[in-house]
Amino acid sequence: MLVEDDPKDVELTLTALDEYNLANEVVVAGDGEQALDYLHYRGNFMRRARENPAVLLLDLKLPKVNGLEVLKHIKSDENLKMIPVVVLTSSHEEKDMVASYKLGVNAYVVKPVDFHEFVNAIKELGVFWAVINEPPPGSVRKR
């Protein structure tokens, strides 16, 4: 699952993931509220399959509910806290990094400006979390 408000970033990220045919399985949420709705099967997501995403790629600067708030919510919810969360942000800001790790983030990645580096980073992330990593029980499995 990708939580990202900027469509350009969404497109670039999906393009990168597509190289390993991972893009089709990605659910995109445009803001924090939508992400939480999805995770709690609310609103538009009431009837979706009862499983957690294998990994959550989370931007920090989001409208309505920001990334750190989403992270805090996930890590304090009994049903959601096992979902691996990777913060994917534009910023090198140390404050954000420290806050994320304190909230229990599983990885923290700063998006490189250089496209090749960016593609590599996203690809490796996707491969690691969706393919190599054994997700916790009750998560989507790569088929």
Partner 1 sequence: MSPSGVDASQRVVHPPSEPGWRRQVQSYGLAFVSVAAALGAALLIDHFHFRDAAVPLLLLAVATTSWIGGTGPAALSVALSSLCFDYFFTQPFRSRYIVSRDLPYFTIFTLFASLISWFAAIRRRVEEELRQTRDKLKVEVEEGASLLDLTHDSIFVRDMDSVISYWNRGAEEFYGWTRKEAMGKRTLDLLRTIFPKPFEEIREELIQTDRWEGELTHTKADGAQVIVASRWSLRRDQEGRPVTILETGNDITARKHWEGQIQGLNRELAQRSVALEAGNKELEAFAYSISHDLRAPLRHMAGFAELLRKNAAASLDEKSTRYLTMIVEAANRMGSLIDDLLAFSRIGRAEARNSVVSLEQITQEAVAEVRPDAGDRKIVWKIDPLPEWYGDRSMLRMALVNLISNAVKFTRTRPEAEIEIGCAEHQDDHVVLFVRDNGVGFDMKYSNKLFGVFQRLHAQETFEGTGIGLATVQRIVHRHGGRVWAEGIVDGGATFYFSLSKIAGAN
Q: Which residues bind partner 1 (CB under 8 A)?
A: 6, 8-9, 12, 15, 60-61, 89-94, 111-116, 118
Residue 93 Cβ vs partner 1, minimum distance, rounded to whole Å: 6
Nearer to partner 1, 31 or 84 (CB): 31
Find the shortest distance in angstroms from Cβ 87 to partner 1. Answer: 13
d(CA 87, CA 2): 10
- Closest to partner 1 by CB, 18 or 77: 18
In terms of CB distance, is 106 or 112 closer to partner 1?
A: 112
Helices 67-75, 32-39: axis angle to 10 degrees equals 20
Helices (H), the chain: 7-18, 32-39, 67-75, 94-102, 115-127
Q: Identity (one letter) of the amino acid at 6?
A: D
Q: How many CB atoms lie within 10 A of CB 36?
A: 22
Min dist. Cβ of residue 67 to partner 1 (A): 11
Question: Are the beta carbons of 100 and 71 closer than 8 angstroms?
Answer: yes
Q: Least distance from C-beta 21 to partner 1, angstroms?
A: 17
CB of 62 to partner 1, least distance (A): 11
Question: Which residues does 20 contact at the CB level (< 8 Å), separation at least 6?
Answer: 123, 126, 127, 131
- Other C-beta atoms lying within 10 Å of the C-beta of residue 95: 8
Nearer to partner 1 among residue 61 and residue 123 (C-beta): 61
Quick one: 4 or 55, whose CB is closer to partner 1?
Answer: 4
